[in-house]
Amino acid sequence: MKRQVLYLSVVLSFLISPVVASADEPSRFGRLFPNLPAFTDPTNQQLADLAQTQLDPNADADNNCADPFAIVGCTFAGFTYFGQFIDHDLTLDTSPTPTGPVDPTTLTNNRTFRFDLDSVYAGGPSVSPQLYEADRLHFKVQDPNVNGVRDLPRNPDGSAILVERRNDENQILSQIHVAFLKFHNRLIDENRSFADAQRILQHHYQWAVVNDYFPHVLDGDNALDDIIAGRITIPLDRLRLLLNPNMTPVEFSVAAFRFGHTQVRRAYRLNNLNGSPNFQVFSFADPLASLMGGRPLAADRQIKWGAFFEELPDPTGGQRNIGRKIDPLISQSLFQLPIPGAEAEGSNVLAFRNMLRAKLYGLPSGQDVARALGMPVISPAALNLGPGFERGTPLWYYVLAESSRLENGQRIGPVGSRIVAETFYSVLKRDPNSYLNTGVLGLIGRFRPDPRIAGADGRMTISDIFQFARVAA
């Protein structure tokens, strides 16, 4: 693959000391490509019209991907929601949907933009006591809840007691969050200190992100081996991402890392109870029949994680959940959001909101980013999106189309992968407490997963998190 000429050496990437802001200084959004022009050609209505074309016409197209057991296939659906968990751990933009141009450098990221699980721990027992038991060591967990299953701690009205309330948007994500709570609690039960338990969970989480999540979503020709080994090199013109501890790139948060929206299925099989019915993710006509959060988990909604991850036993009789292709189409379950906006017709459509925010934040076109990265460029004519898109393509849409055309929807393509890879690596490298920076210069004595958690092979998958937390079955 063609690469830019100016790259840092492998040695230099290790020798750069992480630059870390004060813990009291919040992360702000910024641009990875500040010198590229904003793509503002399409009107809001033209964006809304394009978004309408993204509704998958096949309501039952949940298994629209290749055989996952083939050498190259789509990912199990657990990675879709683990990706959502990662996103909620890294970014939180609380600004309203914009109605006019916004300078993203004026906006605050309300997460720490580190893989430190602040979405779980918040400020710890002294700052966020509502999350913890009276011993100030254990997380609160309802195990069992009023319906006899594991659940998040909840208020009398059913709302979850969380610092990251988005992790109760749906009942798949909420059960991932429960697994992290119980992982920590098991370590406390084994007489670990709070600080040790937090560090152990953070490092195993980071390892699973790099060594399990990455290979399932990134294009294999994007220095994946270097990322896993912790030796990726960053082009000089984007060195600011590695050295600026307070920058959350909007090309990542508003575009490239939103590819998971297209992987969401209409419905999922959770376990082997009651004939294993499929539950729709969202149903605003009948919320109680869906997987919408904000209420105690029902007895038949406890997930057997083998339905979502390949390493665990299959409880579904061969009908495990495979993520949809990464392409421009979105399932009917996620296409339309419950609260409409006022910016243009169709503004309650997820795809429109994604592209509108990108336009008003001044993101460049996908073609301009591809050229800046030295990647193959898919021309606007090849995508043929109609009026307003003759000169370029919204970056989010481009990432999806690139995946569909170059990776058959099984991974994100070169442009999306490079943005995600460089961002993730920089987040890990500039955090002095990440596993990449353990040992001497991140080399001698570097963290390795605990064999009790990862198994003798040391691979450390996401499934190992569920197994150690004792929620896998």
Rounded mean pLDDT of 91-116?
92
CA angle 173, 177, 182 (to 5 degrees): 145
Residue 63: pLDDT band by 50, 70, 90 thresholds? low
DSSP designation for 420: H
Inform me whether the pLDDT recorded for 29 exceeds 70.
Answer: yes
More confident residue, 343 or 368: 368
Section 26-43 average pLDDT? 93
Nearest by Cα to 316 from 264, 268, 263, 280:
268
133 in a structural domain: yes
Report the relative pairing of strands 278-280 and 267-269 from DSSP bridges.
antiparallel
- Report if residue 1 sits inside a domain: no
For the stretch 126-169, pLDDT in tens is 999 999 999 999 999 999 999 999 999 999 999 999 999 999 99
Burial bucket for residue 46 (CB in 10 Å: 0-12, 13-18, 19+): middle
Mean pLDDT value across the chain: 86
Out of 155-159, 172-176, 337-341, pick the least confident. 337-341
Residue 5 lies in a domain: no
Q: What is the pLDDT of residue 12?
A: 34
Three-state DSSP state, 131 = helix
Tell me the residue range of the domain where 245 lies. Answer: 10-468
CB under 8 Å to 183, separation ≥6 — which residues? Answer: 201, 204, 465, 468, 469
| Among candidate residues 460, 369, 360, the one with its CA nearest the CA of residue 422 | 369
pLDDT of residue 139: 98
The number of folded domains in the chain is 1
Q: Which long-range contacts (CB under 8 A, 24 or more apart) does 346-350 make?
A: 346/48, 346/49, 346/51, 346/52, 347/48, 347/97, 349/48, 349/51, 349/52, 350/51, 350/261
Maximum CA extent, the chain: 64
Asked if 201 and 184 touch (Cβ cutoff 8 Å), the reply is yes
Quick one: average pLDDT of 432-459? 85
Using pLDDT thresholds of 50, 70 and 90, give the confidence band for residue 67.
low
The H or E element that residue 458 is part of is none
Q: Do the domain assignments include residue 473?
A: no
- 232 pLDDT higher than 70: no
First to last CA, the chain: 43
pLDDT score for 229: 58
pLDDT class of 422 with cuts at 50, 70, 90: confident
112: domain CATH number is: 1.10.640.10
The helix (run of H) or strand (run of E) holding residue 241 is helix 239-243
Low-confidence winner among 107-111, 225-229, 435-439 (lowest mean pLDDT): 225-229
- Helix/strand/coil percent split, the chain, to 5: 40, 10, 50
- Give Cβ neighbours of residue 52 (< 8 Å, ≥ 6 apart): 346, 349
Residue in 315, 273, 275, 316 with CA at minimum distance from that of residue 298:
273
pLDDT at 220 (0 to 100): 63
What integer is the mean pLDDT of 79-96? 95
Q: Check whether 38 has a pLDDT greater than 90.
A: yes
Q: What is the mean pLDDT of residues 268-293?
A: 81
pLDDT tens digits for 182-206?
Answer: 999 999 999 999 999 999 999 999 9
Q: Residue 34 is encoded by which pair of tokens?
A: 């500040």
Residue indicated by tokens 């909007």: 250
Average pLDDT over residues 61-83: 72
C-alpha dihedral, 38 to 39 to 41 to 46, nearest 10°: -130
Query: Is residue 3 a part of any domain in this protein?
Result: no
Residue 4 within a domain: no
Q: Token digits for 309? A: 């991850």
